[in-house]
């Protein structure tokens, strides 16, 4: 670059700095005239945090100092409470047990292999079920899915390879668990076979009161019992002493933990609270920007040589500096220790160490200051609403879907806070040593994904 070019570049840089300085002076002069608005923008986010502090205090937190150990349970037969749904059409099944037949029907295919026939006869005896063979898997599925058969047909077994060197089969039960526990809002819609770990981690053992492990109900639905019966029936064909062996299962023990119920509050309400915390900043900033457009101040400054990007940069800096104290107060509030009624101390976020641009986007849609304020607040709120559906379908979303949601600022904020809540439930929190890690091997979405 020539010496003349350097001088021109330096001159432009100084001019830009002067313009930014002048606009910042103008913005803060106007801000000083609105003392009430300034106080609201700083205090409202802090007040939302202060509301959480008494909730944090009263929410129960139980400390378990001993290991949680579970008793073993037998899988020799189907669960005693696993019964068909009887109707007028299949009520005669009640009397089948007296005739040596089981209440449940289990299909299998193929039915033209001697080894498979022997295995299924043994399964029929061990599980007290009725077996029905089919030539192909397709025929079996068609039978099991008929409306009259779904109520008393537990499922089917498809033997893919009956050679002993590669003996393989698959168990086909109902596409969704039959006996869901916990009511409407805790209903298993599928078997979650694509997950190794629970999607939403909690402090303490999962389904801690369930001896057999809980959802999605591999024991409760009979899956484990069928699997064990088939495996033992195969061994029995070559060594009948297997009958003398009893196979029992037992849940892994869980180490001492703090059962903090407030983690559920963090996971459910935190994104909504943060969204509401800055709604006044959005409304007041949008109103101020559109007011300058309405009165012609913005056009007058452009005629005097102000660059468009400098104008927006000045508002960005001003808004950031204005909400910075509120952010600091919020962080302090999140980490303040309060005495719990159940004993001990804890903070709102106990483990864990871009709304401004959206305001500018809203301001370009309106020509009147008051309508801009109302519109910005409405759009700000509605931009959060898709998160409700995201949270309900989070486990089914791909990594691409989650990244695309980040282009809406309230959704990006909500997903970030949602991650914080899940890591709080895991008991580790998010810090610089794990902020690039997903919550589990099944979900690699992290704070540094995008």
Determine contact, residues 193/223, Cβ cutoff 8 Å: no
Provide mean pLDDT across the span 158-162. 92
User: Are residues 179 and 223 in contact, defined by beta-carbon separation less than 8 angstroms?
Assistant: no
Contact call for residues 282 and 376 (beta carbons, < 8 A): yes
Residue 62: strand pairing partners:
259
What's residue 372's pLDDT? 65
From 173-187, 203-217, 350-364, the region with the lowest mean pLDDT: 350-364
| Pair of tokens at residue 395 | 């486990």
Q: Which long-range contacts link 114-121 to residues 24+ away (Cβ below 8 Å)?
A: 115/162, 115/237, 116/159, 116/162, 118/233, 118/237, 119/230, 119/233, 119/234, 119/237, 120/157, 120/233
C-alpha distances in Å from residue 116, one per residue of 142, 325, 446 = 20, 73, 48
More confidently predicted of 316 and 430: 316
β strands within 290-444, DSSP E: 338-339, 345-346
pLDDT for 16 beyond 70: yes
pLDDT at res. 362: 56
Instruction: Evaluate whether 203 touches 259 at the Cβ level (below 8 Å).
Output: yes
Please report the pLDDT score of residue 381 as a whole number.
81
DSSP structure class, residue 40: H
**Of the candidates 220, 232, 122, the residue with the CA atom closest to the CA atom of residue 178:** 220
DSSP summary character for residue 259 = E
Residue 149 or residue 292, greater confidence: 292
Count Cβ atoms below 10 Å from residue 290 Cβ, excluding itself.
25
The overall average pLDDT reported for the chain is 78
| Residue whose token pair is 């629970």 | 198
Q: Are 427 and 351 in contact (CB under 8 A)?
A: yes
DSSP code of residue 109? E
The token duo for 79 is 């669960």
Give pLDDT, residue 99.
47
Determine the Cα–Cα distance for residues 233 and 231; give it in Å rounded to an integer.
5
| Nearest CA-CA partner of 311 in 330, 288, 329 | 288
The model's pLDDT over 348-376, given as tens digits with 9 standing for 90+, comes to 776 666 454 455 445 555 555 666 667 77
Q: How far is CA 449 from CA 282, 389, 415, 445, in A?
A: 27, 21, 11, 6
152 touches 95 (CB < 8 A):
no
Spatial separation of the C-alpha atoms in residues 234 and 161, rounded to whole Å? 13
423 touches 380 (CB < 8 A): no
Amino acid 357: pLDDT: 47
Question: Is the confidence at residue 218, as pLDDT, over 80?
Answer: yes
* Contact (Cβ atoms closer than 8 angstroms) between residue 150 and residue 175: no
Closest to 62 in 3D by CA, of 263, 225, 210, 223? 263
Quote the CA–CA distance of 129 and 190 in Å, as a whole number: 24
Place of tokens 């061990």: 126
Euclidean distance between CA atoms 287 and 362, whole angstroms: 10
Nearest to 389 by CA among 271, 296, 298: 271
Residue 207 is encoded by which pair of tokens? Answer: 């389904």
The string of pLDDT tens digits covering residues 235-285 is 999 988 888 888 899 998 988 877 777 777 777 777 888 888 888 888 888
Res. 96: pLDDT tops 70: no
Residue showing tokens 């483990």: 351
pTM, full prediction? 0.61
Instruction: Name the pairing type of β-strands 105-109 and 153-161.
Output: parallel
Mean pLDDT of 112-116: 92
Could you tell me the CA-to-CA distances from 259 to 255, 262, 304, 368 in Å, in that order?
Answer: 12, 9, 63, 52
Rounded CA gap, 50 and 330, in Å?
9
pLDDT at 234: 93
């Amino acid at each position: 670059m020539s010496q003349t070019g350097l001088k021109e570049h330096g001159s432009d840089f100084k001019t830009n700095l002067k313009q930014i300085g002048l606009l910042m002076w103008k913005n803060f002069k106007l801000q000083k005239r609105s003392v009430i608005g300034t106080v609201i923008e700083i205090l409202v986010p802090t007040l939302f945090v202060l509301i959480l502090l008494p909730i944090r205090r009263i929410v129960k937190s139980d400390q378990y100092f001993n290991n949680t150990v579970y008793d073993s349970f037998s899988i020799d037969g189907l669960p005693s409470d696993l019964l068909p749904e009887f109707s007028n059409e299949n009520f005669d099944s009640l009397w089948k047990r007296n005739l040596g037949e089981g209440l449940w029907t289990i299909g299998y295919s193929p039915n033209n292999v001697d080894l498979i026939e022997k295995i299924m006869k043994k399964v029929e005896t061990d599980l007290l079920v009725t077996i029905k063979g089919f030539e192909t898997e397709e025929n079996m599925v068609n039978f099991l899915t008929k409306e009259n058969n779904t109520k008393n047909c537990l499922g089917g077994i498809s033997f893919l390879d009956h050679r002993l060197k590669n003996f393989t089969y698959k168990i086909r039960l109902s596409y969704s668990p039959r006996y869901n526990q916990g009511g409407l809002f805790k209903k298993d819609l599928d078997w979650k076979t694509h997950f190794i770990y629970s999607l939403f981690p909690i402090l303490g053992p999962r389904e801690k009161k369930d001896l057999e492990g809980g959802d999605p109900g591999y024991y409760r639905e009979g899956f484990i019992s069928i699997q064990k019966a088939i495996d033992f029936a195969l061994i029995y064909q070559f060594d009948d002493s297997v009958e003398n062996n009893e196979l029992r299962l037992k849940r892994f023990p869980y180490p001492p933990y703090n059962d903090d119920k407030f983690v559920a509050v963090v996971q459910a309400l935190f994104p909504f609270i943060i969204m509401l915390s800055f709604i006044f900043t959005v409304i007041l900033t949008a109103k101020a920007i559109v007011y300058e457009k309405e009165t012609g101040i913005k056009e007058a400054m452009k005629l005097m040589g102000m660059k468009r990007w400098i104008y927006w940069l000045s508002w960005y800096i001003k808004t950031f500096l204005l909400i910075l104290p509120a952010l600091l107060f919020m962080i302090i509030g999140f980490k303040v220790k309060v005495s719990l009624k159940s004993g001990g101390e804890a903070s709102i976020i106990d483990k864990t160490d871009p709304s401004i641009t959206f305001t500018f986007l809203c301001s370009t849609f309106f020509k009147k200051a008051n309508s801009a304020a109302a519109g910005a607040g409405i759009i700000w709120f509605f931009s959060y609403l898709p998160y409700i559906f995201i949270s309900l379908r989070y486990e089914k979303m791909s990594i691409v879907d989650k990244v695309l949601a980040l282009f809406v600022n309230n959704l990006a904020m909500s997903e970030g806070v949602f991650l914080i809540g899940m890591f709080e439930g895991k008991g580790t929190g998010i810090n610089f040593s794990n902020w690039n890690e997903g919550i589990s091997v099944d979900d690699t979405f992290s704070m540094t994904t995008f």
